[in-house]
Structure 1
Amino acid sequence: MSAQLPLSRRQAIRAAAATGIAALAVPALSACGGSAASDGDGKKLKIGLLVSLSGTYKEVGTDMRDGFQLYLDLNDGKLGGREIELIIADEGDGPPTALPAANKLIKKDKVDVLTGIVGGGSVNAVLPLINKHKIPLVGSNARPEVKDVERVWHTSYLSDEPGIAIAEYIKKEVGGPVYAIGPDYQGGHDELRGFTETFAEVDGVLANPDGKTTWTPFPATTNFTPYFAKIAATDAKAVYCFYAGKAAIDFVKQYAQSDIADIPLYAAGFLTEGSTLPAQGKAAKDIYSVLNYAADLDNAANRKFAAAWTAEHDTQPTTFALASYDAAFVLDRAIADAAKEGEVNPESINKAIAALGKIDSPRGPWEFGEKLHAPVQKWYLRQVREDGDALANVVMQELATLGE
């Protein structure tokens, strides 16, 4: 008999799914305190999930939807022991479509909680509705600066944190000017600001001729070749960018075919996350990225989550799916805790979220910061490498713990 070869990470996740998923299908309410309220303790709760199901970030929004649904599937469709009516709406490409969709969820459907939201601009557009109708927002993707966070919680990250986490590492590794480039909209501004401001604080120098980030029109830019020609004309020793969804696929494929293909490419991890990576193919090999999650993190919560996700979707889970899964976990615990104290309503749920403490997440333990209501969490350096017969974002090291 021939010796058994070691499993790749992807194969290991599939094997875990094949052997362990039967146990995962059993409702997990007791593990997170969600069995406190019985079906007869109150009305069915309405959760509004606002995500991009069309446009540039369709893949991101789809993963967010599926991450939340996975948690419900593993818990008999309940949160905190209560029956849940999940109402999904399409955010599209930003405020023009996000705001009317949120209006419907809040005013017509009368949801008790709003979750999801891909873009920072969409978050800003929706916040007045949240405050007026006094319901909690448990966001699970981009998070811009927010002044009033009384009812605003995010299970993902602050939008400037990826760049903050990796800036000093790039300064030490590159040892020369770095060219910064990203999309011209709220999310791009937040993401690149985190990098450029922190890079300057550690005495890094931008290769951009005016010393400022180069902005590409969003969502119109599909041809990045002219921008690569501009980068080639500088003394850049590396490039740092933020792109996601279809724009990330276009950027990476064209980068690999350009005159600057030999210049190291660093990015916020969304560049090579999820379905973008197989679409990019070998063009993505060796790209370095920073993110709060990777599918190969070795902890019990991630083994369970990754196995369940892979069994359902035959792909590795993403940070988008993870944050939405965690949003459901947060609501599960908060609703159960609110039920112990009395009536379950938007106000009591919001109060319960504030008192949750540590969250046992596939990314590792985290908790909400007291002032900003965003995770205090670790950030990881990843590199796109061959993992068996596929490419994967492989964790190289921890970079930083950010948050309050």
Structure 2
Amino acid sequence: MQSHVRPKRSRRTRTGAAALVLALAAVAGCSSDSGGDDDTVKVGVLASLSGTYKAVGTDLRDGFQLYLDTHGGKLGGKKAELVAADEGDGPPTAVPAATKLIKKDKVDALTGIVSGGTFNAVLPLVNSSKIPLIGSNARPEVKDVTRVWDTSFFSDEPGRAIAGHVKKEVDGPVYAIGPDYQGGYDELRGFTDAFKEEGGKLANPGGKTKWTPFPKTTNFTPYFSEIARSGAKAVYCFYAGKAAVDFVKQYAKSDIADLPLYSAGFLTEGSLLNAQGDSAKDIYSVLNYAQDLDGDANRKFVADWTAKHETPPTTYAMASYDAAAVLDQAVADAAKDGGEVTPESINKAIEGLGQIDSPRGAWEFNKKTHSPVQKWYLRQVRPDGKQLANVMVQDLATLGG
């Protein structure tokens, strides 16, 4: 399939902080009930701008903003205004924030969302308001995807993608450990189910994943002692945010530091790797993106990102950048031949999109699940010049929801 053709770039209009100020001042979007400028598209980004996953949420916001900054501040040829709202650590803060974006700010589309719990909590509001949701982080499975799209992946896919590789590389049982919330359940289930299907055996007592209380677990030493007694030959985990820093630093100083550590890529992603330092050396991870992927789209993305930020781009920034690319083409398609750009017409246009030319490599939506059909990569923390980086080792699998 042909990659989509992006709208012709225009002179940069108001972006960044100025766009946010205008948006928060309730400059109207293009939807028919907002009573505003028909030449403006208003997008709400709901992301964790405080709390445990602040780094993730900030990258979601900044990835979308980078696309606007490098595409003339427009989506589909229309001026774009980005309204950011804080998801916090989950539904208690996320639902009021999403309600404001949809009911007061009257956004034409919603994007972002860090937590699977938030996704489920916000979905009824999205459906009742009939606006498209283009999630840009891992999402749980939902029954009705009519208005639900995702530029990231299902939460169980990282583990599914790496399980076969771990089985081939590790001669013996593997210990599975992660946080006791929905995202952790999904991420670890993907690995453990696929690992067992490959003939692998878990070192965990009873073959059951070890869950650590979230977010209060900061001392992992007792769990490492359990792993040492289990006879495990390797460890597979899922952690992100501050918990990932604590886990990695303590792992490197523990009695099991010599056991190979495999993980979903969030363990060492972005600024977390800087905080972990040498403790993260040699960790293997699986993700749908690595900053050193070869391709014109990725080279441009990395150059544009590093010109504005001190750390390399993450999968979170990349997926949000792609969410903007999806909306860019969808708005352009909806506006063809004088068509009215509304939340409904944007959603319909997304259905007709083909391949997206992305920093991760070309991908497209699975027509049934509305999640990407994409490659997954094995990465290892290695020196890259004077700094450590998640260096791409090999392709692992192509999954598609």
Matched residues, percent identical?
A: 74
Runs of 4+ in 1 over 2 A off after TM superposition: 33-36, 39-43
1:171 is aligned, of 167, 174, 179, to: 167
State the alpha-carbon separation in 2 of the partners of residues 99 and 226 from structure 1: 36
> Shift in Å at residue 85 of structure 1?
1.7
State the alpha-carbon separation in 2 of the partners of residues 175 and 66 from structure 1: 42
State the alpha-carbon separation in 2 of the partners of residues 127 and 35 from structure 1: 33
Does 1:32 pair with 2:27? no
Provide, for residues 32-60 of structure 1, a one-character-per-residue CA deviation record: whole Å limited to 9, x for no partner: 13669xx9992422111000001110001
State the alpha-carbon separation in 2 of the partners of residues 75 and 300 from structure 1: 16
| 1:290 match | 286
Q: Counterpart of 1:252 in 2: which secondary structure?
A: helix
Provide, for residues 367-387 of structure 1, a one-character-per-residue CA deviation record: whole Å limited to 9, x for no partner: 000110000000000000011
Does 1:367 pair with 2:341? no
In the alignment, structure 1 segments of 5+ residues that lack a partner are 1-29
Q: Answer whether contact 1:183 1:216 (CA < 8 A) is retained.
A: yes
> Shift in Å at residue 315 of structure 1?
2.1
> Shift in Å at residue 76 of structure 1?
1.7
Q: After TM superposition, list the pairs within 5 Å mapping 1:107-186 onto structure 2.
A: 107-186=103-182
State the alpha-carbon separation in 1 of the partners of residues 47 and 252 from structure 2: 31
The alpha-carbon distance between structure 1 residues 151 and 268, as it changes in their structure 2 partners (threshold 3 A), is same
Q: Provide the aligned length of Structure 1 versus Structure 2.
A: 373
Q: Answer whether contact 2:44 2:110 (CA < 8 A) is retained.
A: yes
> Shift in Å at residue 31 of structure 1?
5.3
State the alpha-carbon separation in 2 of the partners of residues 182 and 86 from structure 1: 34
| Letter matched to residue 396 of structure 1 | V
State the alpha-carbon separation in 2 of the partners of residues 49 and 224 from structure 1: 34
Q: Answer whether contact 1:35 1:80 (CA < 8 A) is retained.
A: no
| 2:190 match | 194
> Shift in Å at residue 285 of structure 1?
0.1
TM-score (norm. length: structure 2): 0.91
| 1:395 match | 392
Q: Answer whether contact 2:376 2:396 (CA < 8 A) is retained.
A: yes
Does 1:77 pair with 2:51? no
Q: Answer whether contact 2:66 2:305 (CA < 8 A) is retained.
A: yes
State the alpha-carbon separation in 2 of the partners of residues 234 and 399 from structure 1: 28
Q: Answer whether contact 1:34 1:79 (CA < 8 A) is retained.
A: no
State the alpha-carbon separation in 2 of the partners of residues 402 and 189 from structure 1: 19
| 1:333 match | 329
| 1:277 match | 273
Q: After TM superposition, list the pairs within 5 Å mapping 1:234-313 onto structure 2.
A: 234-313=230-309
TM-score (norm. length: structure 1): 0.90
Q: Counterpart of 2:125 in 1: which secondary structure?
A: helix
Q: Counterpart of 2:179 in 1: which secondary structure?
A: strand
Q: Answer whether contact 2:9 2:72 (CA < 8 A) is retained.
A: no
Does 1:385 pair with 2:382? yes
Does 1:356 pair with 2:353? yes
Provide, for residues 254-313 of structure 1, a one-character-per-residue CA deviation record: whole Å limited to 9, x for no partner: 000111100100000000000000100000000000000000001000000000001111
| Letter matched to residue 364 of structure 1 | G
State the alpha-carbon separation in 1 of the partners of residues 327 and 61 from structure 2: 15
> Shift in Å at residue 155 of structure 1?
0.3
| 2:202 match | 206
| 1:90 match | 86
CA-based RMSD: 1.5
In the alignment, structure 2 segments of 5+ residues that lack a partner are 14-29, 31-36
State the alpha-carbon separation in 2 of the partners of residues 53 and 34 from structure 1: 32
Q: Answer whether contact 2:132 2:147 (CA < 8 A) is retained.
A: yes
| 2:16 match | none
| 2:49 match | 53
State the alpha-carbon separation in 2 of the partners of residues 63 and 295 from structure 1: 14
State the alpha-carbon separation in 1 of the partners of residues 220 and 121 from structure 2: 29
Q: Counterpart of 2:118 in 1: which secondary structure?
A: helix
Q: Answer whether contact 1:50 1:115 (CA < 8 A) is retained.
A: yes
Q: Counterpart of 1:289 in 2: which secondary structure?
A: strand
Q: Counterpart of 2:82 in 1: which secondary structure?
A: strand
Q: Answer whether contact 2:48 2:56 (CA < 8 A) is retained.
A: yes
State the alpha-carbon separation in 1 of the partners of residues 95 and 316 from structure 2: 21
State the alpha-carbon separation in 2 of the partners of residues 32 and 131 from structure 1: 28
| 1:26 match | none
State the alpha-carbon separation in 1 of the partners of residues 5 and 371 from structure 2: 23
Provide, for residues 167-202 of structure 1, a one-character-per-residue CA deviation record: whole Å limited to 9, x for no partner: 010001002100000011110011001001001111
State the alpha-carbon separation in 2 of the partners of residues 300 and 387 from structure 1: 20
| Letter matched to residue 219 of structure 1 | P
State the alpha-carbon separation in 2 of the partners of residues 33 and 309 from structure 1: 21
